[in-house]
Structure 1
Amino acid sequence: MNIQEYIQSGIIESYVLGLASEEERLEFESVCATYPEVVEAREALELSLEHQAVSNAVTPPAYLKDKIRSAIGGQQASNEVTTSYTTTENDYADEDQPLIIRKLFSLRSAAAAAIILLGASTLLNFYFYRENGKLVKAFNDLSVQHSQLVNNNQSMQAKLQDYAANFEHIRNPRMKAVKLPGVSANSSSMCTVYWDMQTKDVYLMVNNLPKPATGMQYQLWAMVDGKPVDAGMLDMDKDNMVVKMKNIPSATAFAVTLEKKGGSPTPDMNAMYVMGTI
């Protein structure tokens, strides 16, 4: 248990103010028995409330002590004490003294209760402020996740539309499929060329090619009249299954080599990965 997070969760305030549920109260008392830090935090809060109540307590008038003694003992106040009172004090009759005392005590109790309620209200406001902050954070997190899901969904929809459009091309009866199996040490590699015999557009499907090293890029070649002709570069970072390449009017074979990024005017025959004849 992260004891600092537990202390800051607001459970101590709920327990001291009597707002905790029975389950929360039992759990809190169990934690107190195990972690002295929680007990110290609880006692600090109780002491803070007590200090707040005492510091704001209403001090009774200085002459109240003599009036209380007079009322209890049934004795009259001395002339010396009487002359020290103000004119307003002498206006009170002896039979009114108990009522005055009761009123003063009532005022003092009401003031102390108001101070305690003010402290409790402050703690409650702080507690609910923290809870509201947690809810706002959770809502913001959900909003971010929702936005990410929407963006991912839109991206996936766009890819599916591209796939659908490309597959519409390769399913066309005019398309001629040319298998390009792996060569030499790259026997596990495989590509397929789809060649539109009417428009002469060329589409390349990557069945299996290793990810090129940094600064390198695959290049498609068409054998025309016994010479290799650049048929376009393959950008594997775009995650497309079928890529439209350059238009090739005629060819007897296709091959893929690994060249420096941007392409080469002539193929590196030592870096050939796949090749297939028509």
Structure 2
Amino acid sequence: MEAREYIESGILELYVFGILNESETEEVNNMVAKHPEIKEEVLSIEKAVISLSFSMSPYLSAANYDRIRTQLLEKHNVTEGVVEMKPRSNVALFIGWAAAVVLLIGVGYQYTQLDLAKEQIVTTESEKTAIEKELNALEIDKQKTESVLAIIRDDNNTVVTLGGQAVSPDSKAKVYWNQNTQSVYVDARGLPEPPEGMVYQVWALKLNPLTPTSIGLLDDFKSNDARLFNVSNTGEAEAFGITLEPAGGSPTPTLEQLYTLGKV
């Protein structure tokens, strides 16, 4: 079997997802070793699988703060008889003021730490909200990835490889066509981003006589990270082509802007 026929057979997709038996896997390994173009196609398929990994920032707990309590004790020594009167000590007055200052400093420190704790709680809540948003985005990406994998792994799909044409020889695409359900998906990872005001248009072709039928536009090309597009029912297509057209599409294909073409 020629390398191109081997690529178009769809076995490489099954190889990438590890659902071939041992002998089939060995066969693909041998073909990859012999044919650089097959190896390149395997790498291209692997890039289609979106790996989801994410990390979470560590949880920052609020610090536990000790309560500081100051107890002032005043003791009087009294004996029977006459109480000896002593002049008031300046040292005692100084100690009283010092104790009051220390108490004020302690209270101020506690209020400062409380404010810091409140700010930390607000920061933690903001981080929690950001993490929840990130998790929601990752869940959406996961669902998109599972949808892509379901399409690629469907054994009922006919895989049509579209090669680059004169206007863009390096362009390529794939069509996944389920003839039972008539659903068609286009993998456009191999197409460059369309210029501003232009859009890719997909055509189902009857070859004799040549009759093109538009089956959809690859809208929102930049925002579609997977570059996988669902287009319309094909009918009895014998080939598929993709052209670059003005925004909104064209009633007939602009052949000078034919980017990819492939027979079923």
1:152–1:213 CA distance, 2 compared to 1 (3 A): same
Q: Deviations for 1:147-187, whole angstroms, at most 9, x for unmatched residues?
A: 13312321222112211332244x32xx3222210001311
Q: Deviations for 1:20-56, whole angstroms, at most 9, x for unmatched residues?
A: xxxxxxxxxxxxxxxxxxxxxxxxxxxxxxxxxxxxx
How many pairs are equivalent?
179
Give distance in 2, aligned partners of 1:264 and 1:120. 79
Query: 1:193 is paired with a residue of what secondary structure?
Result: strand
Matches of residues 242-257 of structure 1 in structure 2 within 5 Å?
A: 242-257=228-243
Q: Deviations for 1:108-167, whole angstroms, at most 9, x for unmatched residues?
A: 345413431233124313441353245325423431342133123212221122113322
In the alignment, structure 1 residue 147 sits paired with structure 2 residue 129:
no
**Is this contact kept in 1: 2:244–2:257, CA < 8 A?**
yes
* Aligned pair partner of 2:186 in 194, 200, 204: 204
Q: CA deviation at 1:189?
A: 0.6
| TM-score when normalising by structure 1 | 0.56
1:186–1:114 CA distance, 2 compared to 1 (3 A): same
Give distance in 1, aligned partners of 2:115 and 2:92. 35
Q: Which of structures 1 and 2 has the bigger CA Rg?
A: 1
Query: Which has more helix, going by share of residues?
Result: 1
Give distance in 2, aligned partners of 1:179 and 1:163. 17
Matches of residues 184-203 of structure 1 in structure 2 within 5 Å?
A: 184-203=166-185
Residue ranges of structure 1 left out of the alignment (5+ in a row): 1-94
Give distance in 2, aligned partners of 1:132 and 1:220. 59
Give distance in 1, aligned partners of 2:130 and 2:182. 45
Higher RCO by CA contacts (8 Å cutoff, separation 6 or greater): 2
**Is this contact kept in 2: 1:191–1:205, CA < 8 A?**
yes
In the alignment, structure 1 residue 116 sits paired with structure 2 residue 101:
yes
The CA RMSD over aligned residues, in Å, is 2.7
Residue ranges of structure 2 left out of the alignment (5+ in a row): 1-81
**Is this contact kept in 1: 2:243–2:253, CA < 8 A?**
yes
Corresponding letter in the other structure for 1:206: A
Corresponding letter in the other structure for 2:190: N
Fraction of identical pairs, as percent: 26
| TM-score when normalising by structure 2 | 0.58
Q: CA deviation at 1:243?
A: 2.5
Corresponding letter in the other structure for 1:199: T
